[in-house]
Each structure stands twice: as C-alpha cells, then as structure tokens.
Structure 1
Amino acid sequence: MIEIRNLSQRFAGPRGWVEALHNVNLAIPAGEIFGIIGRSGAGKSTLVRTINLLTRPSEGSVVVDGRDLTTLGKDDLRAARRDIGMIFQHFNLLSSRTVFGNVALPLELAGKTRAQIEETVLPLLELVGLTQHKDKYPAQISGGQKQRVGIARALASKPSVLLSDEATSALDPETTRAILDLLRKINRELGLTIVLITHQMEVIKQVCDRVAVLDAGRVVEEGKVVDVFMQPRHEVTRALIGDVIAHELPPALKARVAERLSTGSGHLLRLAFRGSGVDQPILSETIRRYELDFNILHGQIDEIQGQAFGSLAVLAGGQPVKVAEAIAYLRSQGVVVEELSHVE
C-alpha cells in the first residue's frame, strides 16, 4: 500500500515560488497497476519522485508499506529505497557494462557475492526475455531491449514497488505494447505494485487498473480506468481520452448538427456502454419502445482491461417526453447517457 497524504511541492523560481504539487492525496493498494497521467507540466514526474523521496515534498507525507518515508533518516531511507525500484524514459544504462553487468550493478553496490548476483540476475534476464543478449553492450541492442534491461535492473533488489516514469515515451507503438505487456506480466507473477507515469491515455487503457489525472499539480479526477473512460468528469480527462477515443464530430457534420439543435429539433446524446451491454440490441429496443429516430453520428468499440467498451454520439428525434423516458430506460440498462445541449 502506498499512501500520499496532503502532499505539496514548491520550488524557487525566478519570479518567486512555484507550486508543482498542491495537496495531493492518493491511496494505491498493494498489487495494483496505478496510472498517473497529465499533460506536460502537470506535475506527474515530480509526484513520482516524491514516492521514493528523490524529491522531498514541501508538505505532507509518503507512506509505503506502513513506513512514512518523510520521517526516516538517511540510512533508513536508503534501506527503504531498496524496496522501490524505478525505470526511466531514457534507460540510464552504463555503456561500458554488458546487459548482465547493468542488471548486476545494484547488487554489486549492495556487496553481494558473484554467486548471489548470478542467482538473481539470470532469472531476471529470462523474465524480461534477454538471456541470449546478456553479454551484449547497450549500443548493440534496441531501445525496447534497453528498457527491458532497465526493468530487470529495477527488479534486482526484489522491490515491492516499481515506479515507471514515462518508461515507454521513447519507444515506438509496437515496442510500447510489448513493454506494457511485460509490466503486466511482472505485476501478476511477482505481485508488485506498479505506479506508472505517462502522458498517453493509450498506455493507461492498456495496462492500468486505476488512474489519477493531474492538472497544474492537482488531482482533478481518479477512479477505475473503465469508469473514467465511460464518464470523464473533468475537461482535462475528456481531452486525454479524446486522444484514444474521439469525441469530436467531423467539422461538416458538426455544423449541420449545430444548425439542427439551434432550431430545437433533436437531442444530441453521448452514450457509453461496457461489458455485455456492447453486445445487446439496446438501441433498437429503445427505438421500438419510445418511437424515436436515432441517427448515429459517431461511434467506436474498444477494449479496456479485457472488458468491451463502446461509445456513441447519436441525434435523437421524437417527442421530448419520449426522449426523456428513453434516456431513463437506457440508464436503467447500465448505459451512461450524457445529453449535450451544444456540439463540442
């Protein structure tokens, strides 16, 4: 369990103090993959660095596995950090060391014997799929393989928590998917708690159990990933989700819909389904029950954590009372319905 309590972080700037984080509170259960997302400058990298106190917060506390790290002295903090592994965007490998040597480095610094090092490193290289590359140098392997080395190195001290700071940002989409699959495998097989920092909602969608959205150093939304996708409450969240599932209508269609809405004709609805609701003929049943016309403007079906997810924008025509009854019926069937009075 990771608990971040009333955490704030201020830095001195040329024009005075800059507040990078403001009163952040998060609880991350053990064994979860927790995503922290935000645009550039939102404070997410500052936040992840407070979890292992690479950056000491101005206010608040960070509790990991029952220990408040902000109260520890240097020696105790150093020991506590061994339970918190970290992987980085730019790998941070030593070019003069082999793959094996890079993974072995934290064990050497901890005074482990050669036999102990081999006993730990070789299974880790097998776990991340690099056994056959153990004698190569960083210049001889790909970016995805370098990140696998970074992951294995972070696991060498057998941590209970793994922090990932934009670890896939420098990778192509295919390699990103492979690295995220590896992180999910590590989470399941080793039971690690993973805190994943990213600016890409696609990354959150693929691997995270829950997500917190940061904006200007504040948590503006938090919840299960599928719930946040179905019903985003903050404009920043909507924009980030829009990078994955488009909410915007094409410009020409948007103009026509706006003109129709301005005459009071029709109701623009945004519908979100999940699970078995994606497979059910709910719309056709609604049309029959309430004698409505549904014009589907935009739609997409996707998958979040193995669960089907659908999103539709529809223009509903019919008597207002019937539209209201239809919306109530859809909601009773587990559909998230948002009635829009304007075209976004």
Structure 2
Amino acid sequence: MIALHGIHQTYAGPQGPVHALRGIDLEVRAGEIFGVIGRSGAGKSSLVRTINLLNRPTQGRVLVNGQELTALNGAGLRAARRDIGMVFQHFNLLSSRTVYDNVALPLELAGATRGEIRARVLPLLELVGLQALADRYPAQVSGGQKQRVGIARALASRPRVLLSDEATSALDPETTRSILALLLQIQRELGLTVVLITHQMQVIKQVAQRLAVMEAGQIVEQGETLQVFHQPAHEVTQRLLDDVVPRELPAPVLARVRALLGDQPTPDARLLRLVFAGRGAEQPLLSDLVRRFGLDLNIVHGQIDEVQGHPFGTLAVLAHGQAPQREAALGHLRDAGVRVEEVACA
C-alpha cells in the first residue's frame, strides 16, 4: 500500500543543512497498523509527512496504492491526498466551528452538497462516539474528544490510508487507551492502512502489527512487533523497550539476590533474566528445568504482559546447579524460544 524508496530530506538550518531523513526504504502492507517509533528528533514526523507530501523529499520516491506521489503536482496531488487522512498531535481544530462543522470541513472544501455532508458526517460522529456533542465547540470538549473529532475529520473523505502523527502523546494514559482502541476499531471496520508515529513503546505494543525504529533520520530496525520485543537487534530499540520491560533489575531485587547468596557466593549459582514470548510463554519450562536438569530455582522478579494478543514477559531467576546441567538447561530454554541473559549481581 505504501512504499518509500531512497527517501532523503534535507532542510536549511542556521548552522548549515539538516539531514532529517537519510536513505529511507520502507514498505507498509495494505490493511495493517504499522508503527514508527523513535526519540524526539529521530525523523519520525519528517517521515510521515513525506507519505502525503506535506514535506516533499529532497530525493527518493513515494508510492501510495501503486501511484507515485512524487511524480504529481497541483490537482493530481490534491486528488491523491484525498486517499490519505491525517491525525495530528495538537488536534488542529478550528475554534470557531462546531464539532460537526470541523468534521464537515474537508467535504465542504471538496464541494460536497449539504445533504452529502450530513450523510457522511453523522455516521462518522457516531463511529467516534460524539454524536451527542455535534453542536459543541472545541473549547467545550475534552482533549480525548478533540482527538476523536480529528479522527472523524481525517476519515471524512473516505481515505484508504490514515496517518497518525503522535496522536496520543498529549493525552493521559486512560484516554490514550481509548483512542488506540478506537483506531483499532476503525482499522478493522474500514480496512484502513494506518501508519502510527509515536515515541512510546506502550502505544506500539497495543496496536501495531509491525514497526520500524528510527534514529538520526535512519531506520535502524524493523519487523514484526512481537519479534522485535523478544529479540531487539539494535541498542536504540532496547533503550526504547526499557520503558516497557527494563533490562536493569531494580536495586531492591539485586539486594535480595545478594542476601540469598550470602557472603560466600557459590560458583554454581547464576542470576538469569529470561524473556518469554509467544509459545515460549505457554510452556511449563521452569518445572522442566527442575525435573529434567535438577536445578534449584528462586524466582526473584518478573512481569507478564501481552503484545498483539500474545503473552510476553520476563522472569529473573536465581539458578543453582552444576555447570553441565545448568548449560544444558539454558540450551533447552533457548531451543524453546526463550531469550536468556546472565545478570551480574555483584
């Protein structure tokens, strides 16, 4: 549905050229929610704005639904953009227009009749749960409701692609969850392709089937969301994942481990961090380690979550056993799809 080939974006800055995007190649499949994540300044917003050519790339090609947007200008580009809706971080609503009129605006600009506008706007307000607020002004509704207006407005022209640029970053956690649930509902009911820009792995975890990680204008990692959570390949990705599943164990946990080991730690004890995902989280692996390999295990820390409907979690265990049995047990875990890391507890 979306293909970016060799995208570069360079801006003129006070200190010289700013290279916002550096050789981006990316494909987004039809009907998926694709997340793009990175810290501030990574190039996420520059990337998403090249998809609808709000920012025309300095170099490269942008294709949406098989049409090359970078080859279009004027009326052709305006027509192509009707297939691409966009939701913004700060809502961008017109304060002098009601909720209804804000949603109607794209249709008015396209020359739709009053009857056509009403037939389109009322179902959209029902879809986003705002039919009772149609006559209110933006100042009279909450932040989450403003974003729902923005989503309805973005859907007014019946787009096939929806771009979301940090649409939840100004919202509280509960409202964020409700907006993400709405985006999932819309994607499923309307069959949209959604590109979701965010700096929060919590957002990616809840809705994105696949993701790309950006740093300094480049994509440093991409793949299926569960796989990236389970086996991050780049340090930038791991730092972002620390917001959801921290690598470092809390100091009180390490203190408890040192207390369990005592003043004379045994060479047969190892503190292990086990990362489970998918099938590895559904097997009785710890009991296998005890029964088959004769290890003694103390669970000292852990958390279980879900990524795209699949279990995902980590456990920190203090494993006691002789080296051959311990190494065989770790091989068994890895064969079962569990990531194993040894943690220093000194």
For 1:100, the equivalent position in structure 2 comes to 100
CA RMSD of aligned residues (A): 2.1
For 1:11, the equivalent position in structure 2 comes to 11
Structure 2 unaligned regions, length at least 5: none
For 1:308, the equivalent position in structure 2 comes to 311
1:191-236: CA deviations, max 9, x gaps? 0000000011111111111111111111111111111111112122
Inter-partner Cα distance in structure 2 for 1:102 and 1:167: 17
**Contact map agreement 1:258 1:342 (CA 8 A) in 2:** no
What letter is aligned with 1:127?
Answer: L
For 1:45, the equivalent position in structure 2 comes to 45
Of residues 291-300 and 136-145 in structure 1, the stretch that sits farther from structure 2 once superposed is: 291-300
Inter-partner Cα distance in structure 1 for 2:54 and 2:246: 37
Q: CA deviation at 1:161?
A: 0.3
* 1:322 lines up with 2:322 in the alignment: no
What letter is aligned with 1:302?
Answer: D
Identity of aligned residues (%): 63
Of 294, 298, 311, 2:297 maps to 294
Inter-partner Cα distance in structure 2 for 1:309 and 1:232: 14
For 1:157, the equivalent position in structure 2 comes to 157
For 2:25, the equivalent position in structure 1 comes to 25
1:5-41: CA deviations, max 9, x gaps? 1111111222221211111111110000000011111
Q: CA deviation at 1:242?
A: 1.3
For 1:339, the equivalent position in structure 2 comes to 341
Inter-partner Cα distance in structure 1 for 2:340 and 2:280: 17
Inter-partner Cα distance in structure 2 for 1:168 and 1:21: 23
**Contact map agreement 1:165 1:196 (CA 8 A) in 2:** yes
Task: Give secondary structure in 1 for the equivalent of 2:126.
Answer: helix
1:284-308: CA deviations, max 9, x gaps? 1112211223332321101112222
Task: Give secondary structure in 2 for the equivalent of 1:312.
Answer: strand
Instruction: Write out the 4+ residue segments of structure 1 that deviate beyond 4 Å after TM superposition.
Output: 255-265, 341-344
What letter is aligned with 2:30?
Answer: A
Inter-partner Cα distance in structure 2 for 1:8 and 1:267: 48
Inter-partner Cα distance in structure 2 for 1:59 and 1:258: 56
* 1:174 lines up with 2:174 in the alignment: yes
What letter is aligned with 1:20?
Answer: A
Inter-partner Cα distance in structure 1 for 2:324 and 2:18: 52
The count of corresponding residues between Structure 1 and Structure 2 is 343
- Pick closer, same or farther for the CA change 1:67–1:281 going to 2, 3 Å: same
Inter-partner Cα distance in structure 2 for 1:14 and 1:265: 60
Task: Give secondary structure in 2 for the equivalent of 1:169.
Answer: coil
- Pick closer, same or farther for the CA change 1:280–1:341 going to 2, 3 Å: closer
Inter-partner Cα distance in structure 2 for 1:300 and 1:92: 39
For 1:244, the equivalent position in structure 2 comes to 244
**Contact map agreement 1:249 1:297 (CA 8 A) in 2:** no
Of residues 226-235 and 306-315 in structure 1, the stretch that sits farther from structure 2 once superposed is: 306-315
For 1:89, the equivalent position in structure 2 comes to 89
**Contact map agreement 1:267 1:339 (CA 8 A) in 2:** no
Inter-partner Cα distance in structure 2 for 1:33 and 1:252: 39
Structure 1 unaligned regions, length at least 5: none
Inter-partner Cα distance in structure 1 for 2:257 and 2:11: 47
Task: Give the TM-score, by structure 1 length.
Answer: 0.94
